[in-house]
Amino acid sequence: MTPENYMLRAINLAKLGAGSVSPNPMVGAVIVHHGHIIGEGYHQQYGQAHAEVNAINAVLEKYPDAQILLQQSTLYVSLEPCSHYGKTPPCALLIIKYKIHKVVIGCTDVNPTVSGKGIELLKNTGTEVSVGVLEKECMALNKRFFTSINKQRPYIILKWAQTADGFFAPANGVQHWITSAPAKTLVHKWRTQEDCILVGTHTAKIDNPQLNVRLVAGRNPKRAFIDRDLSLPKDFFLLDNSQKTFVFNCKKTTTQGNTKYIAIEDFDYLLPQYILYQLYLNDVQSLIIEGGAKTLQTFIDAGLWDEARVFTSAKNLSTGIKVPHIKGNTVSVDNVGDEKLKIIIPF
């Protein structure tokens, strides 16, 4: 196998941590001895052991002569090993402790507490270090983490469903399902993988959404909604305290159970920017914006989005609320049940 094969394995392992490690990055590690994988691991849960630790422990548990094998091995890891004390000790020091011969890194860590320091520490102790194997793929793996660090805002996913004739919802404000069961199940899967979901006031009042995970197994995301005058009825799901929920309003800043009210003084000036920065401060690394059309368009017009996931049904409405206007590159179109799913990214 080639270094790219081993790194691809590390990437696939890292993906198993999706939805469980934020605000940390997803990381996978593979240990190879003379062409054979003898240990592998990934970061499984925020606050717990990192990928390198789990891979090394896998070798220690399996082989009586593990320490000798590790000294003759190459460690492939999708992201630069950490060099600082956080919730866990530095992975770079563990690699040095076991005298692993060579470390192949997919991409460097952009976090200022790590960036380049892990690589430098390894090199200074005689470890052979190589950086950049499947670098593009490793960076794409942690696009949420990199966006949070570099832009101080969550990675933003826009999501909506539209009819074949370009409508978002009926004009009368009645709840109207456009998508079929497979699309709804996929959306719930997405919710398990992201940190938070945001809706606007109109959607909250019309749909009374739960914004949780009911159709697949997985953890519920945080919820956020915009309610300028705190007009949402108190018995609605979004105020049931069942999940961590952010309420963006212009009247109060307080916390009541799992519900955090965040006051924004001027709703007419830089509203998307204020919302995103507050979510960033609350360790929200990724955000799905599920509507309504006005809320989606506000973020589009502000240039604050990283991808859009648009379901198009064969149904027609003839009249109603028009879909958001968005321009970008279409990267894929797939069938999901009776709908087409288009993924768009900014130019």
| Tens digits of residue pLDDT in 157-176 | 999 999 999 998 887 766 77
**Quick one: pLDDT at residue 346?**
97
**Cα–Cα distance between 310 and 307 in angstroms, integer?**
10
Q: What is the pLDDT of residues 122-171, one digit of tens each?
A: 999 999 999 999 999 999 999 999 999 999 999 999 999 999 999 988 87
State the helix-helix crossing angle for 51-62 and 3-14, rounded to 10 degrees: 110
Total-model pTM: 0.91
Give the confidence band of 283 by pLDDT, cuts at 50, 70, 90.
very high
Token pair in block for residue 198: 């945001």
Within its chain, how far is the Cα of 81 from the centroid? 20
What number is the average pLDDT over the span 45-68? 96
- Catalytic residue list: 52
pLDDT beyond 70 at 86: no
Q: What is the pLDDT of residues 262-277, one digit of tens each?
A: 999 899 899 999 999 9
From first CA to last CA, the distance across the chain in angstroms is 36
**Quick one: pLDDT at residue 328?**
97
Closest CA to 20 of 192, 244, 210, 214: 192
pLDDT beyond 90 at 342: yes
Q: What is the pLDDT of residues 203-252, one digit of tens each?
A: 999 999 999 999 999 999 999 999 999 999 999 999 999 999 999 999 99
Q: What is the pLDDT of residues 306-325, one digit of tens each?
A: 999 999 999 898 888 999 99
Write a three-state SS string for the chain: CCHHHHHHHHHHHHHHHCCCCCCCCCCEEEEEECCEEEEEEECCCCCCCCHHHHHHHHHHHHCCCHHHHHHCCEEEEEECCCCCCCCCCCHHHHHHHCCCCEEEEEECCCCCCCCCHHHHHHHHCCCEEEECCCHHHHHHHCHHHHHHHHHCCCEEEEEEEECCCCEEECCCCCCCCCCCHHHHHHHHHHHHHCCEEEECHHHHHHHCCCCCCCCCCCCCCEEEEECCCCCCCCCCHHHCCCCCEEEEECCCCEEECCEEEEECCCCCCCHHHHHHHHHHHCCCCEEEEEECHHHHHHHHHCCCCCEEEEEECCCCCCCCEECCCCCCEEEEEEEECCEEEEEEECC
Closest CA to 51 of 109, 110, 113: 109
